[in-house]
Amino acid sequence: MAVFLSYLPLWKEAFVPAWPVMLNHIFVTAMRTTDMILMGFFGPAAVTAVGLGDVWESIILRIGLGLGTGSISLISQESGVGIGAFTAKTLSALIFIFIFLSSKSEFNLKNPLKHWEFILIKQLFKVSAPKIAQGLYQSLITFPFNSIFFAG
- Rounded distance between C-alpha atoms, residue 88 and residue 115, angstroms: 23
Residue 21 lies inside a defined structural domain of this protein: no
Residue 17 lies inside a defined structural domain of this protein: no
Query: Averaged over 20-48, what is the pLDDT?
Result: 84
In the prediction, which pLDDT does 24 show?
A: 82
Residue 50 lies inside a defined structural domain of this protein: yes
Residue 15 lies inside a defined structural domain of this protein: no
Q: Is the pLDDT of residue 40 over 60?
A: yes
Query: Averaged over 40-52, what is the pLDDT?
Result: 82
Q: What Cα–Cα distance (Å) separates residue 46 from each residue in 28, 60, 100, 115, 140? A: 19, 22, 61, 53, 22
Phi then psi dihedrals of residue 151, to 5 deg: -80, -30
Residue 5 lies inside a defined structural domain of this protein: no
Q: Which strand (E) or helix (H) includes residue 113?
A: none
pLDDT classification of 142: cutoffs 50, 70, 90: confident
Residue 29 lies inside a defined structural domain of this protein: no
In the prediction, which pLDDT does 90 show?
A: 83
pLDDT classification of 45: cutoffs 50, 70, 90: confident
| pTM, rounded to two decimals | 0.38
Residue 35 lies inside a defined structural domain of this protein: no
Describe the crossing of helices 44-79 and 119-151 by its angle, rounded to 10 degrees. 160
Domain containing 124 equals 45-151
Residue 22 lies inside a defined structural domain of this protein: no
Number of structural domains (the chain) is: 1
